[in-house]
Amino acid sequence: MKDAPIPETGILIWVRFITSIFSSSPSRKTFSLFRSGMILFLWVVSFFGVHPIVQDTVVLAEVEIYAPAIDRFAHGQKLQNWDKSQLETYQGRSLADLLQEQSPVFVRQYGAGMLASPSFRGTSAGHTALFWNGLPINSPSLGQSDLSILPVAAFDQVNLQFGNAGALFGNEAIGGSLHLQTKPKFSDGFHVGLTQQIGSFGTFNSYLEGEYSNSTISSSTRIYREFSKNNFPYKDLGQIGTPEVNQDHAQFEQVGLVQDFAWNVTEKSQLKAAVWYNHTDREIQAVMGSTSHDLQEDKSFKAVLDYYKFGNQSVWNFKTGLVKDDLLFNGSLSQTSQYFLGTDWDGTLSEVWTIKAGVRFTYIQADLSSYSTSDQRIEAYQSANYQFNDRLSFSLNLREFVYQDQFAPFTPNLGMDWELWKKENQQLLLKSSIGKGFKVPTLNDRFWEPGGNPDLLPEESWNGEVGLDWRREGNIAWRNGLTYFRMSVDNWIIWLPQGAVWTPENIKHVSNQGIEYLGEVSGEIYGWKWKGSWSYNWNRAITTQGIGETDPAIGKQLPYTPRHQANAKLTLLKNGFSAFLGTFYVGERAITADNPRLMSSYQLFHAGLAFQNIKWKEISVPISFQINNLFNTEYQVLYLRAMPGRSFQFNLSINL
């Protein structure tokens, strides 16, 4: 290992950052911070431009469109991902379906096609950061996203990051983060594909995709429409005698467009743009025994533009974006707009040091029936990797976040990857990380009328985890990963009655700990390729401080947070034919904070067949068939929210 001095860059960035704050008057802090951060960042870039490490220029493969790796500075953290081929099984389904069947994330679902929110490691939906092509897309008024209206067909890759990532990704990433990406290619020619799906309960989905690319430009267009009457039968536990009835108010319709464009401006620069429009109309499914007929319409427009400049083992990125959301609930309109402007520099300083530094500015405008307001946010961040030797490496992430002249907690994170043992085709890796996270109060928390509390403090968390990852390559390849995590969240925001008005307060303290196990094995026998995967997680998330010392929630598991979850899947492939059988289990969940009543556990199975090599002349005609809830199990995810029984789905595609 070659000795290398610790670069001054990180120290200088944060010294200049802090001094710029205290040298400004309070009324001008935000502008001064933004100005100082931008000046400093450009200074950092110019410094490295004048004193480069003598290495080759970054060269992209001919068909590659650049995208920063999610795990580049995430040493010691657990990650899970699905590429486009793995997502094909979930064509016609939502991100909520993927996560609840194939990940340790618990999805709190209010019914088929209804609101679905993620819970990483026992945290709330507002503790999950969500990104689309690097753009944060959570609602600023609610602080979360509805996974049921994010169709898997709209993106090519899904990455999950577990645990605290506030230093790496920013606001809300206390429990984890979700990253959705589209991945067009260069030099791939012309392709057109049409997919039609027909399923149970009046499901009818259509997808059209067209792509064209050469060595200079790439364009990809996707159009989709998803429709379901959702008229499934269920036992109405809210009526005397629990009669079987058909769901008559849960119709779902969604249309959308995704457009990607990329341009190799020069050999050392690339421009990438993406647009996503989504429009959803829903009849809101009522709780059992109720006759309410709520209606909800969601419109969302997202756009992002990236410019990349490739230098001597470095990449400079300029990013700007827009997220506009309209929600119409029973005639009441809520509108939010988010505007983003950011830049960062990522480069290799030496054989042992890699660094990334950047700033991001966000302007938010919200117009709701209860209030209208604007918000400004700026964040400065720096990440560094240090390669101690061939087997041991560290990452350090730092972030400071300011909103409305208020400072979120300074956020550091330290991670480590240590290859304990390596022999031929096997490897044993020790991973560990510790860090701090934060979540600023949502706009509703601060400005809702009546009851909003502008003096709320940000929620803060400390998170630590340690894990072992054992892998083997060869004819029989396998992987076993075991992770233990521990987390505490302070200043947890809850809404409490103050006379006739409810208002949010920083009251709760929550402690989480758990174990996550992931296993995979694959091989080939008699020409059949096979793969098995399974996971189990145990999660203890309890309230350690509540509303006074006599709060019955103290020491109890958080509501709708199962202690036990598991899933498994077996896949067979041969000559374009594939078959799979999968299952997932969700343990008991408490309905309220004091845990007097538990909802029953449930286990669901799903299976499918696919034929990919059906062709007519130059046209490919793959078909597939899938059964969900194979054994017609009766279950509820949330109390008195009906869920469908066995359902079927048939897919036919035509690809040119």
As a whole number of angstroms, the distance between CA 462 and CA 460 comes to: 7
The DSSP bridge pattern shows strands 176-181 and 128-132 to be parallel
pLDDT digits (tens, 9 = 90+) for 72-128: 999 999 999 999 999 988 988 999 999 999 999 999 999 999 999 999 999 999 999
Query: Which two tokens mark 326?
Result: 């309209």
Nearest Cα to Cα of residue 128 among 147, 114, 109, 112: 147
Q: What was the pLDDT predicted at 11?
A: 36
As a whole number of angstroms, the distance between CA 302 and CA 324 comes to: 6
Q: What was the pLDDT predicted at 49?
A: 41
CATH code of 303's domain: 2.40.170.20
DSSP characters over 103-123: SS-EEEESSTTS-EEEESTT-
Where the chain has pLDDT below 70, the residues are 1-64
The values of phi and psi at residue 41, to 5°, are: -65, -45
As a whole number of angstroms, the distance between CA 277 and CA 255 comes to: 8
Q: Is 269 helix (H, G, I), strand (E, B) or coil?
A: strand
The values of phi and psi at residue 271, to 5°, are: -120, 135
Query: Which two tokens mark 93?
Result: 């389904």
As a whole number of angstroms, the distance between CA 295 and CA 617 comes to: 47
The DSSP bridge pattern shows strands 157-162 and 217-228 to be unpaired
As a whole number of angstroms, the distance between CA 506 and CA 326 comes to: 29
* Close Cβ partners of 18 (under 8 Å, ≥ 6 residues apart): none
Query: Is 153 exposed, middle or buried (CB count within 10 Å of its CB: 0-12, 13-18, 19+)?
Result: buried
* Close Cβ partners of 60 (under 8 Å, ≥ 6 residues apart): 66, 270, 310
| Count of domains observed in the chain | 1
Q: What was the pLDDT predicted at 381?
A: 96
As a whole number of angstroms, the distance between CA 224 and CA 205 comes to: 8
Residue whose structure tokens are 């860090």: 435
As a whole number of angstroms, the distance between CA 121 and CA 2 comes to: 40
Q: What was the pLDDT predicted at 17?
A: 37
Residue 4 lies in a domain: no
Residue ranges making up the domain that contains 647: 180-655
The values of phi and psi at residue 15, to 5°, are: -65, -50
Residue 332 lies in a domain: yes
As a whole number of angstroms, the distance between CA 442 and CA 445 comes to: 5
On whether the CB atoms of residues 436 and 412 are closer than 8 A, the answer is: yes
On whether the CB atoms of residues 119 and 563 are closer than 8 A, the answer is: no
Residue 233 lies in a domain: yes
Which contiguous run of DSSP H or E holds residue 540?
strand 528-545
Residue 30 lies in a domain: no
Q: Considering just the CA atoms, what is the radius of gyration of the chain in Å?
A: 25
Residue 222 lies in a domain: yes
* Close Cβ partners of 154 (under 8 Å, ≥ 6 residues apart): 180, 182, 222, 224, 256, 258, 276, 278
Nearest Cα to Cα of residue 602 among 559, 647, 557, 567: 567
Residue 622 lies in a domain: yes
On whether the CB atoms of residues 151 and 226 are closer than 8 A, the answer is: yes
Query: Which two tokens mark 162?
Result: 């577990």
Helices and strands (H and E) in the chain: how many: 6, 36
On whether the CB atoms of residues 470 and 462 are closer than 8 A, the answer is: no
Residue 355 lies in a domain: yes
Q: Is 241 helix (H, G, I), strand (E, B) or coil?
A: coil
pLDDT digits (tens, 9 = 90+) for 185-224: 899 999 999 999 999 999 999 999 999 999 999 999 999 9
On whether the CB atoms of residues 252 and 232 are closer than 8 A, the answer is: no
The alpha carbon of 118 is separated from its chain's Cα centroid by a whole number of angstroms, namely: 9
Residue 115 lies in a domain: no
